[in-house]
Structure 1
Amino acid sequence: MSARIRMVLFVNLLSLLFSTAILHSNQSTLPLRSFKISENVTYDCIDIYKQPGLEHPFLKTHKIQLKSSISRHELKMQTGKNETSDKRKIVCPNGTVPILRNTKEYVTNSQVFAEEHFHPLSADSPGTHIAGVRSSIGPFRGVQAWFSANALNVGKDQVSYGQIYIGSGSGNQVNYISAGWIINPGLYGDQRVWAFGFWKGKDGKGCYNTACSGFVQVSKVIPIVRPIDLKPGVPGWFRYFIHQDINTGNWWMTQLMQNIPDEDIGYWPKELFNLLENGANMVGVGGVVQASHSGSSPPMGNGNFPNGGRLDSGLFSNIEVLNSNYEQRKMNSFPVENLLDSEKCYGLRIGKLTFH
């Protein structure tokens, strides 16, 4: 293991594994507008009712939910600058949503990552290392947190990411949803930080973003997958909220904002799952890396062990959950399990921070 990685977790939750993928737009649907963010990164504004996510066989009779019915209070934290949501490069016309234009290679690779490098209830994927916390005293209706992302030197055959997640398992079956940031040069073709979402449902298959059907994009300004340009040594901040809608049972992905209204990015319909109808058995947060075939592991968090101040390493903070009654609680009010499988290369420090 050639790399040191460190993850500081202030509060409580879980961390798991996996790698990444990208999206494809429905080539049979003519976009009303397109946005080219950078070379090989283009978003098409597709009619919300004709988006590729609705092509999943489980969603033949699904009716789109346009807004989450969950009310939530804003998390307070002064990060100072570099909010990942400040720079909006995409504003699709009303009635359309941004879908990343993909290649067949991206779609194929996303399926390979989901099948070969994703074991959501344990760290038994060869070369995968984790640093995080989780609680398995459910049911939970949601999880939210502040967490930092940093530019890292990650090899083409390596992966490093941070995430919040929920999940349930029964026998060999697993239902799982996660959201966060990831650096995966082998898939995205660059070393940038990418925002992502992932799900694994009742058919036993998993999918990243909109690389295959299932996720329903609702926001016209924030796509589920997008590149985040960060300068070395300057963290970017994510504030995500995964939660089950109290009326429909769908599982929403929301980006929490500081000075403007929260943005519901989209949701995974309840029809995709068979173990999440009454909430999730576990929730968690943390960092994960996938080593190269040679055994070399990439950095995690910001590449520093959590031996200094609160912002000297990768950080998860203000971690909160929704209990079975949709009541918002601090994560440390539940029993928490620490996850750290490689102390020589990575670190974990648990503390309690209050931000105002």
Structure 2
Amino acid sequence: MWLLKTQQKNRMALVMNLLLLSFLVASVRTVPLRSFKIGENVTYDCIDIYKQSGLDHLLLKKHTIQMKPSVSRIELKSQIGNKKKEKDQCPDGTVPVLRNTKEFITNAQFFAKKYIHPLTTDSPGTHIAGVRSFNGPYRGVEALFDGYNLNVGKNQASYNHIYLGSGVNNEVDFISTGLMVDKSKLVWRRTYFVIWILEVSQVIPIVKPHDLTPGQPFWLHPAIHQDKNTGNWWITLVDGDTPNINTPNIDVGYWPKELFNFLNNGANMVGVRGMVQTSPSGSSPPMGNGKFPTGSAMSPKDRASSAIFSNIQVLNSNFEPSKIDSSHIENVVDSTNCYVLRTGKVPLFHRTYLGYFFNYGGLGGNSCGV
């Protein structure tokens, strides 16, 4: 979702340009081989995979596109057998990119400048409810979570995502992916699955809006992992427990290793969280599904009443997968007046194994602070 590199002040202009270039990877600069629409004013063009503008970055001039991860996730045959072919799929050798408008580019520039922040809870106007671990190095992170169509006002944003990062002193490499509701900066008033990477998938676009029914969850299970052979950081959409995804696991694309200074040997920290951006007036938007966690964490009904992150897993320094160790988890909630975090663990013998999970969210308002 985000490629954030927070550097010292004399390098900030370069950082802004890097983020914006990654975001505008959807800019069409060649004649598309095919186009399709997924909604009103939402058009995608299928362009040559080697013509995506992310490759224009100076650090990627000699980069060779990696077409698939060295090691893919194992998929159950029963999962694949019931899948339907996507009707909006680009031809071989092409990827779907969003057809930009002047308004979209202008809003993207504003977004890129406003949402630069390090791995900290001290970003003015930003509120967080989530968990993180500094017990690295980590080679990956993944989680299953739900997103909602929230009532987000002008100059506000609400999003939930998984992330990982490393840094030294004032320099940080930070990558993330998830869902975002931002009705003032982006053209379409919808929930977004947003990633800034080099794309290889013919099915999943880099920027994809979703029309959501108010009150109904949209499930997403993304996984970020470092490729053991190349060092690139891949993102995969995991299927099997996400009811709204009707395709097998999809390797969407990757962040090239050349873009980073501190992630070659893994990430020092991983985390999953809900996050909001307060408007200049001081009013904060809702987080999660806009409701506080209530009742018992062990009750399926109570767990379903608020937004949730579950099935949280990491890859350790040896690229071995494991459920996240709750003994090394730090809870982060910076505005308890407005947002609540409740953690729990469903045992392995339980019919629905969520592992370590947490409910979170709240209404926001004017008493959240800045």
Q: Shorter-chain-normalised TM-score: which range?
A: 0.7 to 0.9
Per the alignment, residue 360 of structure 2 pairs with none
Per the alignment, residue 162 of structure 2 pairs with 164
Please give the alpha-carbon distance, in whole angstroms, between the structure 2 residues aligned to 1:104 and 1:169.
35
Q: With the length of structure 1 as denominator, give the TM-score of the two structures.
A: 0.83
Please give the alpha-carbon distance, in whole angstroms, between the structure 2 residues aligned to 1:280 and 1:107.
31
Distance of aligned partners of 1:269 and 1:260 in 2 relative to their CA distance in 1, 3 Å threshold: same
Per the alignment, residue 194 of structure 1 pairs with 192
Distance of aligned partners of 1:289 and 1:86 in 2 relative to their CA distance in 1, 3 Å threshold: farther
SS in 1 for 2:108: helix
Within the candidate set 173, 176, 181, 1:175 is matched to 173
Please give the alpha-carbon distance, in whole angstroms, between the structure 2 residues aligned to 1:120 and 1:319.
22
Distance of aligned partners of 1:159 and 1:88 in 2 relative to their CA distance in 1, 3 Å threshold: farther
Per the alignment, residue 276 of structure 1 pairs with 263
Please give the alpha-carbon distance, in whole angstroms, between the structure 1 residues aligned to 2:291 and 2:177.
23
Please give the alpha-carbon distance, in whole angstroms, between the structure 2 residues aligned to 1:270 and 1:146.
26
SS in 1 for 2:135: coil
Please give the alpha-carbon distance, in whole angstroms, between the structure 1 residues aligned to 2:44 and 2:93.
15
Distance of aligned partners of 1:32 and 1:132 in 2 relative to their CA distance in 1, 3 Å threshold: same
1:239 and 2:221 matched? yes
Please give the alpha-carbon distance, in whole angstroms, between the structure 2 residues aligned to 1:94 and 1:72.
22
How well do the aligned residues superpose, as a CA RMSD in angstroms? 2.4
Per the alignment, residue 202 of structure 1 pairs with none
* 8 Å contact from structure 2 (residues 29, 51) kept in 1: no
Gaps of 5+ in 1: 1-15, 76-84, 198-208, 210-214
Superposed displacement of residue 169, structure 1: 1.1
Please give the alpha-carbon distance, in whole angstroms, between the structure 2 residues aligned to 1:121 and 1:239.
22
Per the alignment, residue 126 of structure 1 pairs with 124
Please give the alpha-carbon distance, in whole angstroms, between the structure 2 residues aligned to 1:70 and 1:104.
40
Distance of aligned partners of 1:334 and 1:278 in 2 relative to their CA distance in 1, 3 Å threshold: farther
Per the alignment, residue 357 of structure 2 pairs with none
Superposed displacement of residue 74, structure 1: 6.1
* 8 Å contact from structure 2 (residues 27, 100) kept in 1: no
* 8 Å contact from structure 2 (residues 144, 220) kept in 1: yes
Deviations 1:276-316 (A, max 9, x none): 00001100001000111111111000010011411111110
1:262 and 2:260 matched? no
Q: With the length of structure 2 as denominator, give the TM-score of the two structures.
A: 0.80
Distance of aligned partners of 1:26 and 1:129 in 2 relative to their CA distance in 1, 3 Å threshold: closer
The alignment covers a number of residue pairs equal to 314
Deviations 1:59-98 (A, max 9, x none): 11111111112343569xxxxxxxxx98946211111000
What percentage of aligned pairs have identical amino acids? 59
Please give the alpha-carbon distance, in whole angstroms, between the structure 1 residues aligned to 2:155 and 2:38.
25
SS in 1 for 2:325: helix
Distance of aligned partners of 1:120 and 1:276 in 2 relative to their CA distance in 1, 3 Å threshold: same
| 1:1-356 alignment, distance < 5 Å | 23=24, 25-73=26-74, 88=86, 90-197=88-195, 209=196, 215-258=197-240, 261-308=248-295, 309-332=302-325, 335-353=328-346, 355=352
* 8 Å contact from structure 2 (residues 37, 43) kept in 1: yes
Q: Give the counterpart letter for 2:114 in structure 1.
A: E
Please give the alpha-carbon distance, in whole angstroms, between the structure 2 residues aligned to 1:74 and 1:306.
33
SS in 2 for 1:271: helix
* 8 Å contact from structure 1 (residues 24, 101) kept in 2: no
Deviations 1:33-82 (A, max 9, x none): 1112223321110101111111111011111111112343569xxxxxxx
Please give the alpha-carbon distance, in whole angstroms, between the structure 2 residues aligned to 1:64 and 1:124.
37
Superposed displacement of residue 112, structure 1: 3.4
Q: More helix by proportion, 1 or 2?
A: 2
Superposed displacement of residue 345, structure 1: 0.5
Distance of aligned partners of 1:26 and 1:158 in 2 relative to their CA distance in 1, 3 Å threshold: closer
Please give the alpha-carbon distance, in whole angstroms, between the structure 2 residues aligned to 1:335 and 1:109.
39
Superposed displacement of residue 186, structure 1: 1.3
Distance of aligned partners of 1:161 and 1:272 in 2 relative to their CA distance in 1, 3 Å threshold: same
Gaps of 5+ in 2: 7-18, 77-82, 241-245, 296-301, 354-370
* 8 Å contact from structure 1 (residues 118, 125) kept in 2: no
Please give the alpha-carbon distance, in whole angstroms, between the structure 1 residues aligned to 2:238 and 2:28.
32
Distance of aligned partners of 1:108 and 1:276 in 2 relative to their CA distance in 1, 3 Å threshold: farther
Distance of aligned partners of 1:26 and 1:297 in 2 relative to their CA distance in 1, 3 Å threshold: closer
